[in-house]
Amino acid sequence: MRIGVVTFPGSLDDTDAARAVRYAGAEPVRLWHADRDLAGVNAVILPGGFSYGDYLRCGAIARFSPVMAELVPAARAGLPVLGICNGFQILCEAHLLPGALTRNAGLRFICADTRLTVLNTGTAWTGRFDPGQEITVPVKNGEGAYAADQATLDELERSGRVVARYTYGAPNGSVRDIAGICNAEGNVVGLMPHPEHAIDPLTGPTDEGLPFFTSAVAAFAGVVL
């Protein structure tokens, strides 16, 4: 399986995401923001960082990059896409996911290990988890508070599209402690914490973020999850 990792100006977790892909047993393919070419990959990761310096709103400029002109229709056609942190912000700006990521409560940048509860294991990126499984992964953001109108929030809850929730309350002020969501089809997932930083106990707090990546590999291989 070949998983593309997009690099925007200001991306800083693209190398970590590529490393996570290798750990999961897939081939990482580097994709450049200015190219209108997905290189025939089987899935795409939009990594964390500060794309285009986070000018205007986080992800607002990246949403109009040439690579997104190819990615958006591909995602709508079923291509698995995982947006992590800044990638989640880009997915919301591109209207592949509803809602928006806003300034943290307290207006402070947060960098800490956090406990998550994985709720939806039916997506392309969460099939290797058990429903209700708790994991520890890092969170690091200044604009990570998820926000949406009440109708959208109720629909996300009703349809099981809240992928993960902060177990002990959102450190950044996300409504309903939402840490990640997916689209109706389950192929597009946005996650504010960083599973790519938790794939090996030697370098991360745990290896509990790795199933986000092995799930995509298993789904592509047709493995029964």
Q: Which of 33, 196, 197, 208 is catalytic?
A: 196
Q: Which of 43, 28, 29, 60 is nearest to 143 (CA)?
A: 60
For the question of residue 85 being annotated catalytic, the response is yes
- Separation of alpha carbons 197 and 20, rounded Å: 8
Q: Which residues contact 19 (CB under 8 A, 6 or more apart)?
A: 28, 196, 199
Q: Is the C-alpha dihedral spanning 30, 32, 33, 38 positive or negative?
A: negative
- Separation of alpha carbons 170 and 106, rounded Å: 12
CA distances from 104 to 49, 53, 224 (A): 16, 18, 39
- Tokens for 67? 């690579």
Residues making up the chain, counted from first to last: 225
The distance of Cα 225 from the centroid of its chain, to the nearest Å, equals 20
For the question of residue 194 being annotated catalytic, the response is yes
Q: Which of 33, 92, 93, 194 is catalytic?
A: 194
For the question of residue 197 being annotated catalytic, the response is no
- Separation of alpha carbons 154 and 178, rounded Å: 12
Q: Which of 58, 70, 85, 92 is catalytic?
A: 85
- Separation of alpha carbons 60 and 48, rounded Å: 14
Q: Which residues contact 97 (CB under 8 A, 6 or more apart)?
A: 83, 88, 91, 181, 182, 183, 188, 190
Active centre residues (catalytic): 85, 194, 196
